[in-house]
Amino acid sequence: MLVYQDLLTGDELLSDSFNYTETHNGVLWEVEGKWVVTGSVDVDIGANPSAEGAGDDEGVDDQAVKVVDIIDTFRLQEQPPFDKKQFVAYIKKFIKLLTEKLDAEKAEEFKKNVEGAAKFLLTKLKDLQFFVGESMHDDATLVFAYYKEGATNPTFIYFGHALKEVKC
C-alpha cells in the first residue's frame, strides 16, 4: 500500500486506495470522496423487537455517523474559508515553501504550471472547503473539497507536487 504524505508536515493525506486524476499538468490531483456510515451497524436478524419486549428506549445506543471517507480516514481538519486576498497570500507562501523541498526538475515543473492551477482554484474559491492534515501545522499543504454540479459526493483537490509517496 502507498500512502501520500504532506511534503511540508509529514501528515498522511491520501493513499493509493483512492484513485486520482491529474489535472493542470499534474499540479493538481482530483479524488472522488464518498459519504459513508461509520459506527454501529443495524443488523436485522429477523426477530420481532416488540415481541421480545424491546422498546425504543432499550438496546444499544446507535453510534452510526455519516462521514466523508477521505476526511475520516486521514483525519483531515476543516479550516475557515479564505477570501481572495488570504488565498493569494497562502499560495505565494506555499509556492516558496514547496519549491525549497523539491528537486530542481520538479521545482521548475511546479513553478511553470502552478499559476494555472491557482487560477482554477480562485475561480472555485466560494465553493471550496479547506482542510489540512491532522497536525494542523501552520505551513501545511491545503486540501480542497467541492461538489461538482449535481454531485452528491465531494471531489477533493490536492497539490500533487506536495505529496510524498511512502510504502507501508
> Which residue do the cell numbers 501520500 mark?
4
Assign 3-class secondary structure to 36-70: EEECCCCCCCCCCCCCCCCCCCCCCCCCCEEEEHH
Domain that holds residue 159: 2-36+70-167
Q: Which pLDDT tens digit goes with each residue over 52-98?
A: 555 555 555 568 899 999 999 999 999 999 999 999 999 999 999 99
Whether residue 143 is contained in a domain is answered as: yes
Average pLDDT for 17-33:
97
User: pTM of the entire structure?
Assistant: 0.86
Kindly report the CATH number assigned to the domain that includes residue 91. 2.170.150.10
SS3 87: helix
| 110: nearest Cα among 94, 126, 87 | 94
Q: Measured between alpha carbons, how far is 113 from 53 in angstroms, rounded to an integer?
A: 66
Whether residue 64 is contained in a domain is answered as: no
- Helices 84-101 and 104-123 cross at an angle (nearest 10°) of 170
The structural domain count of the chain equals 1
Q: Which pLDDT tens digit goes with each residue over 122-147?
A: 999 999 999 999 999 999 999 999 99
Whether residue 49 is contained in a domain is answered as: no
Whether residue 139 is contained in a domain is answered as: yes
Whether residue 44 is contained in a domain is answered as: no
